[in-house]
């Protein structure tokens, strides 16, 4: 067969195949329309723009996506997603949903999008937007709902757990990048340790990356080497390396996961995970929106009180009941306000 | 009968175009395999580029840094140097521009020019350092520039955090006097962040062409690229040319970084990872056949497809990975030009035969 024929064949096969696929997709669409629940005849559309992590980041983007999936299943909303490849894509991604006019709410996932959300919201006052993990420095446009989490509270419980379980009285923290958001995890954790065991030593290190498991593994190895026996990570995919290192070292080397229940990454080495229910937040906002409620211009904070942050249910697998009871005691104290958990270095230095 | 000279010039244009078509076909097949309709997919990509003025403006905004990165890679390549450090030099340019833009006070216009100049010098020296290491100590530029990328990224993060910090994990906003944005231009494109950087990119493409093709310096640089031993035998200073080539290459990357800060973001964010622009520049230079004008074409293609592809996901829910595959296939076919050449040769020969 000669080159010309090959090319011709390739072109025709693509065209023929795309005809078939064309039928396939249009059928799918018809199915979706009949299945999807509708409210008042018009289906609500909620869009989300991820930050550069994308929807498979094992972290808040993924969690937000799961929340929207649940909303589209239970509430019958239509979901649209745009994954940003780099920071410059945030604004065009947000704009294309907002300016398209068919979107009832557009989410920006992650504080890195704060400036973009604010600008887009001000330029399009009739649209509705929402952001995860940022209070927009307190200056929130009327058409934006800001959602934040008290990660420091959940991390405090992890500190209590670590201080109680450590045999060496040395524990470690691996952060992704030294952002104020990640410092909330660090100082919440440190405060928890301090509350239970003031003499225990906490070493906090940062990988300067959320996407480098190899670096997480190296840092974990250094921490374990210097005698730390429990490591809490808040480092996205970098934290996968912490789990890998603990697994390799075997019994006695513990990890505390973050964002979602990470027990499955190393069942024999995972003490607990500080879960952050971005999915619940996204779902709740969708539900409210469907009920005609939208709290524009305000910050909605999810905390221990409403289960927005908490320890994972699998904690009981490797943690004795008395330690869990102690965690629950502290949890009550945080909820009733008798302990105020620090979120920054300054607050931590003044803590007790 | 076509002379061989003409054939090769014709091929330089034909091969990338054919590569694009082949890439689109293979990408379309892959979309089919993934269960999506390629015609719907490609038309939403097209909409995402040309759908309205806003998208067109944003596409050009996305293309601008790619032109600079492509020029930087292509320029070094002409001297036989593989500058993988464009990414790092781009970051240094961003950093320098963010510093000058936010902390110096100068009149409007001049401020932007000075910021770009400082970025050029900083990035030029940064690239030149790798060139010097190669020229003086014989350290391979691929190794040094890869490593210098990391140095640039982490040093920039540290510098922003320590000295330049503004609101929410980014450097302080640049002063309006240093901005490369033009209100009327942005209004024309429905608020897109297209800016003077694009014009600068086109000007520097011309400058590169002139420098490489019309000056003695350019002749020497290219001669070293063709054959350093012959160049040395002919009395050219190979070490000097290696250094100079990396210096200019770095400076080009630096202007790209500067326009990104001064024209688009207005500040520089602490970054958990590379921008990717420097690496994309390698692909752009390859598509553009290391020719300054080819680079513009390559950047338009690469930036356009990449930016337009986001629309595919937004509208049709097709994962953007599929367009990344298309782009990869295009690059593959350009790189494997011999395959395309061979196909072309067969094609021509057949035509020749049938004409007889």
List pLDDT tens digits, range A148-185: 999 999 999 999 999 999 999 999 999 999 999 999 99
What number is the average pLDDT over the span A282-292?
Answer: 94
What number is the average pLDDT over the span B183-195?
Answer: 93
Quote the minimal CA–CA distance from B139 to chain A in Å: 26
Quote the minimal CA–CA distance from B240 to chain A in Å: 37
CA distance B242 to B225: 9
CB contact under 8 A, A85 and B62: no
In the DSSP assignment, the letter for residue A250 is -
CB A319 within 8 A of CB A271: yes
Contacts of A98 in chain B (CB under 8 A): none
Contacts of residue A5, Cβ cutoff 8 Å, sequence gap at least 6: none
CB contact under 8 A, A179 and B54: no
Six token digits for residue A265: 């990454």
A268 and A178 within one domain: yes
Decide if the complex's ipTM is over 0.85: no
Quote the minimal CA–CA distance from B327 to chain A in Å: 14
**Nearest to B155, CA basis, from B87, B83, B88, B68:** B88
pLDDT at B4: 56
Facing B273 at nearest CB: one of A11, A134, A209: A209
Quote the minimal CA–CA distance from B313 to chain A in Å: 6
β-sheet bridge partners, residue A301: A148
Cα B103-B104-B108 angle, rounded to 5 deg: 120
Six token digits for residue A196: 């239970």
Has residue A23 got a pLDDT over 60?
no
A340 and A291 within one domain: no
A342 and A255 within one domain: yes
Question: What kind and span of H or E run contains A14?
Answer: helix A3-35
CA distance A16 to A14: 6
A140 and A55 within one domain: yes
Could you tell me the CATH number of the domain that includes residue A291? 3.40.50.2300
Has residue A36 got a pLDDT over 50?
no
Which tops the pLDDT comparison, B325 or B113?
Answer: B113
CA distance A40 to B7: 65
Tell me if residue A270 falls in helix, strand or coil: strand
Which tops the pLDDT comparison, B327 or A131?
Answer: A131
Contacts of residue B318, Cβ cutoff 8 Å, sequence gap at least 6: B31, B34, B36, B40, B41, B44, B312
CB B87 within 8 A of CB B65: no
Confirm or reject contact between B40 and chain A (CB < 8 A): yes
A180 and A86 within one domain: no
Contacts of B170 in chain A (CB under 8 A): 115
A290 and A195 within one domain: no
Burial state string for B60-69 with b = 16 or more CB within 10 A and e = fewer than 16: bbbbbbbbbb
A246 and A160 within one domain: yes
A100 and A232 within one domain: no
CA distance B250 to B229: 25
A80 and A128 within one domain: yes
Which tops the pLDDT comparison, B340 or A304?
Answer: A304
A284 and A265 within one domain: no
Question: What kind and span of H or E run contains A73?
Answer: helix A60-74
Band of residue B7 on the pLDDT scale cut at 50, 70, 90? low
Quote the minimal CA–CA distance from B179 to chain A in Å: 17
List strands edge to edge, sheet with A201-206: A201-206, A170-175, A230-234, A254-259, A270-276, A309-311
CA distance B153 to B270: 9
Cα B149-B126-B137 angle, rounded to 5 deg: 95
CA distance A102 to B309: 20
Look-up of token digits 């306000």: A337
CA distance B52 to A281: 34
CA distance A81 to B315: 9
CA distance A168 to B118: 52
pLDDT at B348: 72
CB contact under 8 A, A21 and B55: no
Six token digits for residue A145: 């709902």
Helices B292-311 and A90-100, axial angle in degrees (round to 10): 50
Residue A259 structural domain:
152-275+320-349
When the pLDDT of each residue in chain A is averaged and rounded to a whole number, the result is: 88
In the DSSP assignment, the letter for residue A43 is P
Radius of gyration of chain A measured on its C-alpha atoms? 23
Band of residue A56 on the pLDDT scale cut at 50, 70, 90? confident
Q: For chain B, first and last CA: distance in Å?
A: 13
Confirm or reject contact between B173 and chain A (CB < 8 A): no
Contacts of residue A294, Cβ cutoff 8 Å, sequence gap at least 6: A105, A128, A145, A288
Band of residue A85 on the pLDDT scale cut at 50, 70, 90? confident
Nearest Cα residue in chain B from A47: B314
Has residue A233 got a pLDDT over 60?
yes
CB B112 within 8 A of CB B179: yes
CB contact under 8 A, A81 and B317: yes
Distances (CA, A) of A250 to A164, A268, A312: 20, 8, 22
Is A7 inside a domain boundary?
no
Contacts of A14 in chain B (CB under 8 A): 25, 28-29, 32, 38
Confirm or reject contact between B80 and chain A (CB < 8 A): no
pLDDT at B161: 92
The upper half-sphere exposure of residue A278, i.e. CA atoms within 13 Å in the direction of its Cβ, equals 29
**Ranges A41-50, A188-197, B314-323: which has the least confidence:** B314-323
Quote the minimal CA–CA distance from B28 to chain A in Å: 7
Residue pLDDT, tens place only, B228-239: 999 999 999 999
- All structural domains of chain B with their residue ranges: 65-189+212-290
Residue pLDDT, tens place only, A256-265: 999 989 999 9
Tell me if residue A335 falls in helix, strand or coil: helix
Contacts of B271 in chain A (CB under 8 A): 87
Q: How many CB pairs under 8 A join A and B?
A: 116
Is A11 inside a domain boundary?
no
CB contact under 8 A, A177 and B272: yes
Quote the minimal CA–CA distance from A4 to chain B in Å: 7
A330 and A256 within one domain: yes
Has residue B186 got a pLDDT over 60?
yes
CB contact under 8 A, B193 and A178: no
Q: What percent of chain A has pLDDT over 90?
A: 77
Nearest Cα residue in chain A from B170: A112
Has residue A118 got a pLDDT over 70?
yes
CA distance A125 to B243: 53
Has residue A57 got a pLDDT over 70?
yes
Nearest Cα residue in chain A from B340: A3
Which tops the pLDDT comparison, B248 or B346?
Answer: B248
Total residues belonging to chain A = 352
Read off φ and ψ for residue B173, nearest 5 degrees: -60, 145
Domain count, chain A: 2
Contacts of B343 in chain A (CB under 8 A): 3, 7
CB contact under 8 A, A208 and B161: no
CB contact under 8 A, A93 and B307: no
pLDDT at B338: 62
Facing A95 at nearest CB: one of B54, B157, B350: B54
Contacts of B260 in chain A (CB under 8 A): 88
Facing A80 at nearest CB: one of B48, B273, B314: B314
pLDDT at A32: 40
Facing A96 at nearest CB: one of B62, B260, B314: B314
**Nearest to A316, CA basis, from A206, A187, A207, A161:** A161
Confirm or reject contact between B157 and chain A (CB < 8 A): yes
Distances (CA, A) of B348 to A4, A204, A295, B353: 11, 66, 68, 9
pLDDT at A58: 78
Contacts of B39 in chain A (CB under 8 A): 18, 22
Band of residue B327 on the pLDDT scale cut at 50, 70, 90? confident
Read off φ and ψ for residue A215, nearest 5 degrees: -70, -40
CB contact under 8 A, B37 and A22: yes
CA distance B76 to B249: 6
Tell me if residue A333 falls in helix, strand or coil: helix
Interface test with A, best of B18, B41, B94, B168 (most A CBs within 10 A): B168
A197 and A76 within one domain: no
When the pLDDT of each residue in chain B is averaged and rounded to a whole number, the result is: 90
CA distance B283 to B305: 13
Q: What's the per-residue H, E or C state across chain B?
A: CCCHHHHHHHHHHHHHHHHHHHHHHHHHHHHHHCCCCHHHHHHHHHHHHHCCHHHHHHHHHHHHHHHHHHHHHHHHHHCCCCCCCHHHHHHHHHHHHHHHHHHCCCCCCHHHHHHHHHHHHHHHHHHHHHHHHHHHHCCCHHHHHHHHHHHHHHHHHHHHHHHHECCCCEECCCCHHHCCCCHHHHHHCCCCCCCCHHHHHHHHHHHHHHHHHHCHHHHHHHHHHHCHHHHHHCCCCHHHHHHHHHHHHHHHHHHHHHHHHHHHHCCCECCCCCCCHHHHHHHHHHHCCCCHHHHHHHHHHHHHHHHHHHHHHHHHCCCCHHHHHHHHHHHHHHHCHHHHHHHHHHHHHHHHHHHC
pLDDT at B352: 62
Nearest Cα residue in chain A from B343: A3
pLDDT at B3: 54
Contacts of A179 in chain B (CB under 8 A): 169, 270
The residues in B 267-286 lying below 8 A from A, measured between CB atoms, are 269-273, 275-277
Residue A55 Cα to chain centre, angstroms: 10
Quote the minimal CA–CA distance from B347 to chain A in Å: 7
Q: What is the dihedral of CA B50, B54, B59, B61, to 10 degrees?
A: 160
């Amino acid at each position: 067969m000669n080159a010309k024929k090959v090319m011709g064949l390739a072109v025709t096969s693509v065209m023929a195949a795309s005809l078939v696929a064309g039928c396939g997709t249009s059928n799918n669409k018809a199915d979706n329309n009949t299945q999807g629940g509708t409210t008042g005849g018009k289906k609500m559309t909620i869009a989300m723009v991820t930050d550069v992590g994308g929807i498979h980041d094992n972290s808040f983007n993924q969690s937000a996506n799961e929340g929207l999936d649940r909303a589209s299943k239970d509430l019958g909303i239509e979901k649209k997603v745009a994954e940003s490849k780099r920071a410059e894509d945030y604004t065009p991604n947000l704009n294309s949903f907002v300016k398209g006019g068919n979107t009832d709410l557009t989410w920006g996932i992650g504080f890195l999008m704060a400036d973009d959300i604010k600008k887009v919201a001000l330029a399009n006052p009739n649209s509705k937007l929402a952001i995860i993990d940022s209070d927009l420095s307190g200056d929130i446009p009327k058409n934006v709902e800001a959602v934040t989490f008290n990660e420091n509270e959940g991390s405090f419980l992890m500190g209590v757990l670590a201080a109680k379980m450590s045999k060496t009285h040395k524990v470690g923290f691996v952060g992704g990048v030294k952002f104020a958001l990640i410092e909330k995890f660090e100082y919440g954790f440190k405060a928890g340790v301090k509350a239970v065991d003031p003499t225990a030593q906490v070493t906090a290190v940062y990988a300067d990356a959320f996407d480098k498991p190899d670096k997480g593994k190296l840092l974990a190895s250094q921490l374990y080497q210097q005698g730390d026996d429990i490591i809490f990570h808040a480092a996205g995919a970098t934290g996968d390396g912490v789990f890998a290192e603990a697994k390799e070292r075997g019994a006695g080397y513990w990890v505390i996961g973050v964002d979602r229940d990470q027990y499955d990454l190393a069942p024999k080495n995972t003490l607990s995970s500080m879960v952050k229910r971005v999915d619940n937040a996204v779902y709740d906002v969708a539900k409210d929106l469907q009920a005609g409620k939208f709290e524009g211009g305000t910050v909605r904070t999810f905390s221990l009180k409403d289960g927005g942050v908490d320890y994972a249910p699998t904690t009981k697998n490797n943690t004795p009941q008395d330690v869990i009871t102690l965690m629950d005691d502290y949890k009550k104290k945080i909820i009733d306000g008798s302990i105020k958990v620090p979120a920054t270095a300054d607050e931590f230095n003044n803590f007790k | 009968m076509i002379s061989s000279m003409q054939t090769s010039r014709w091929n330089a244009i034909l091969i990338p175009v054919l590569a694009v078509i082949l890439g689109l076909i293979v990408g379309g097949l892959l979309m089919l395999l993934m269960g999506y309709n390629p015609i719907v997919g490609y038309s939403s990509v097209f909409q995402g580029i040309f759908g309205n003025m806003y998208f067109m403006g944003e596409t050009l905004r996305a293309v601008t840094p790619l032109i600079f990165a492509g020029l930087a890679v292509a320029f070094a390549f002409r001297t036989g140097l593989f500058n993988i450090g464009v990414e790092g030099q781009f970051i240094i340019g961003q950093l320098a521009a963010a510093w000058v833009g936010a902390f110096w006070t100068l009149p409007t216009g001049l401020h932007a020019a000075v910021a770009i100049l400082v970025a050029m010098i900083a990035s030029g020296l940064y690239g030149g350092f790798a060139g010097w290491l190669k020229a003086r100590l014989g350290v391979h530029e691929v190794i040094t520039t890869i490593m210098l990328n990391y140095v640039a990224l982490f040093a920039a993060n540290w510098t922003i955090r320590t000295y330049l910090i503004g609101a929410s994990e980014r450097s302080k906003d640049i002063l309006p006097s240093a901005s490369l944005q033009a209100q009327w231009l942005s209004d024309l494109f429905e608020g897109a962040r297209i800016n003077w950087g694009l014009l600068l990119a086109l000007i520097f493409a011309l400058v590169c062409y002139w420098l490489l093709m019309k000056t003695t310096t350019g002749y020497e640089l290219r001669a070293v690229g063709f054959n350093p031993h012959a160049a040395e035998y002919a009395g050219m200073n190979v070490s000097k040319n290696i250094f100079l080539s990396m210096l200019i290459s770095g400076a080009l990357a630096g202007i790209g970084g500067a326009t990104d800060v001064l024209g688009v973001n207005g500040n520089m964010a602490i970054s958990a990872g590379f921008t990717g622009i420097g690496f994309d520049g390698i692909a752009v230079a390859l598509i553009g056949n290391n020719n300054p004008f080819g680079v513009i074409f390559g950047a338009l293609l690469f930036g356009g497809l990449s930016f337009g592809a986001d629309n595919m996901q937004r509208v049709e829910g097709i994962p953007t990975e599929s367009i990344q595959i298309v782009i990869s296939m295009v690059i593959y076919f350009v790189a494997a030009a011999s395959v395309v050449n061979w196909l072309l040769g067969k094609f021509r020969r057949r035509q020749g035969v049938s004409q007889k």
